[in-house]
Chains A and B, each alone.
Chain A
Amino acid sequence: MAGNVLPQPKAGTRLGKLPRLIGGAWQSLRHNPIIIKELRHRMRSWHGLVDLATFSILLSGFGLIMYNTYQNSNRIYSYRSYIYNVYTSNAQTPRSQELGSNYFVAIVVAQLFLACMLAPSFSAPTIAGEKERQTYDIMLVTLLRPRDIVVGKLFSSLAYLMLVTIAGVPIASVAFLMGGLGPDQLIAGVVVILVTGLSLGAIGIYWSSAMNRSVTANRNAFINILLLYFVGPLLIVYALNVAFQPTPISFQFSTYAENNLKDAMMWVSSVNPMYAIVDTNEILKNRPGSNVLFFGNTPKEFLFTPVTRFLFISSGIIFIYLWQAVSHIRPLRPEAQRMAKTSKPAKTTTSTEAKTTEPLG
């Protein structure tokens, strides 16, 4: 049992705790039997590598086309941008730099799209597949805790996506050559892709733990993602728009209220990582002094960029779905857990002794 237990952090400085905690988490991931088993299984099938190569080639081709298109239209753009810049008082962004960041955003969005496809389709069959193969019970009766199972299944199903993301980094880095892309943006791009993978993977694992067949788990995960990331935000933003549109009667719609509305819309839209990346890029281009995490309408204002908001929302999504998945994997009903929990602390040692000795003696 000892191998998997997180090292107990001793009472000490905050700074001392954190690395030990991260180290412990890393050790527990590295020794998670499920990750080892699943990865070995995945390595066995060569098509994984073939897929990876195909994807990298496709992504490079896509990048090349993007690059050429922008190059060719650069001449027109530079003329238009002259006029554009006159009107929009923000002449700081030279055209060539916009090219770099646009190229980068396109690559990231392509990868996000891939994550939307890959993460659920890898994670949704994992636990339901064990049920189908009838290996679920024997996995449950081992000493693996439900959270070991969930974490093991999640990370092993995302390993491939992580590989693809890392393979995409050099292709996205070409944007550096074109200029207009800060290293923080590149890091943010990679983080957003990985967090997207984690959230979609968590949704897949949740449905996998709830369903008995991998086909239904897969279908439900995709529907869930479609509603949560695309249809839902669109509908809400549309509804907000309709509800709070300044009509001729209420034309004194204050800028304060309008800003609040915009802010709310930005929160809702930031569920979607593609929106978050694209809009943050727009903000970076148009508002000097902002970075990937914060921006402001005035130099004194600090607002969260869509990327930051996306990260907040995603943490919530990941937490809720994984938590639900863990409670699904416990074979025992939650009522009983609650009863056990309430009865145990009240009478500690005596209750366990009475429980076990009375019927035996």
Chain B
Amino acid sequence: MLDQDEKNYHVWSYRRSFVEKFDLFEKKEELKFVRDKINEDMRNNSAWNHLFFLKFGRYKLKLQKTIDESVVSEEIEFAKEMISKAPTNPSSWNYLNGIYKILKRNIIELKAFATQFTNLIYESSVSLYAFELLAEIHKLEKNVEESKKVYELLAKTLDPVRVNYWEYKKAQLTVV
């Protein structure tokens, strides 16, 4: 029953176990391989997942306690660069958000970056992910009203397929 997609999933999974087994996390060829894959098709989510594993896998697997700030900022910059090229690409946004999530970094520092993709004049560079991030940032800044406005915009106009979800997020703002 395995289609081509599922086969690819398993190939990436083997690749990951291989890296882990022989500690190839920092091997140049492996990094080049995966960055090339992303440059070739920046929506190749399996490649993004593999990059995340190479960069943050040793930390997640508790093989190291901390990650060099230089590595972190390099990856944040890479994600930002890819987002700027294609602001609607969920893979690069998830990568950026993922870094902040596992390192418990403060997303407020992404405010200016996210805001540039919420200008509705330039429709082609508008990103739902930017709006979603901005709503989270407003919430962290205790600016519930602004956050609510963003969720309403998403629910009513920008992303009506997820109206229930945005309503849920909005309702959560007032739950303490």
Real binding pair: no
Q: Which residues of A contact B (CB under 8 A)?
A: none
Q: Which residues of B contact A (CB under 8 A)?
A: none
